[in-house]
Amino acid sequence: MCLAVPGKVISIDDSDPDLKMAKVQFGGVVQDICVQWIDDLNTGDYIMAHVGVALNKVDEEDARITLNALYEMREIDFKFES
């Protein structure tokens, strides 16, 4: 129920100020997602969609830093073990 899926914003339609919508790509599928609560949204951004509504934008900088830290951990472990 609480599952949300990351998708890439393809286009934004803010013609209705109470129901801002976006075309969002999930793998090969494009769906209409409500992005009413997402500030500073641009095409190319990633959002987390849940029951047809965006919960939040994906913080790409945070994702990059966290993954890099994990990959660094692997490097360190590798050196330590060898």
Partner 1 sequence: MKYIDDYRDKDLVEIIAARIEKITTRPWTIMEICGGQTHSIMKYGLQEFLPEKVSLVHGPGCPVCVTPLELIDKAIYLSSFPDVIMTSFGDMLRVPGSESDLLRSRARGSDVRIVYSPLDVLKIAKENPGKKVVFFAIGFETTAPSVALAVKQAGKTGIDNFSILCSHVLVPPAIRSIMSLPGVRIQGFLAAGHVCAIMGYHEYHEIAEKYRIPVVVTGFEPVDILTGINKTIEQLESGNSHVDNAYGRVVTEKGNIPAQNMLMEVFEPVDRQWRGIGVIKGGGLKLRDEYASFDAERLFPLGNIKAEEPEGCIAGEILQGLKKPDQCSSFGSVCTPDKPLGAPMVSSEGACSAYYRYSGSQKKEYGRV
Residues making contact with partner 1 (CB under 8 A): 1-6, 8, 18-19, 26-27, 34, 36-37, 39, 46, 48, 50-53, 55-56, 58-60, 62-63, 66-67, 70-71, 73-74, 77
CB distance 18 to 37 below 8 Å: no
To partner 1, the closest distance from the beta carbon of 81 in angstroms equals 10
Q: Which is nearer to partner 1, 11 or 73 (CB)?
A: 73
DSSP the chain: ----EEEEEEEEE-SSTTS-EEEEEETTEEEEEE-TT-SS--TT-EEEEETTEEEEE--HHHHHHHHHHHHHHHHHHHHHH-
Closest approach of partner 1 to the CB of residue 42, in Å: 16
| Least Cβ distance, residue 31 to partner 1 (angstroms) | 9
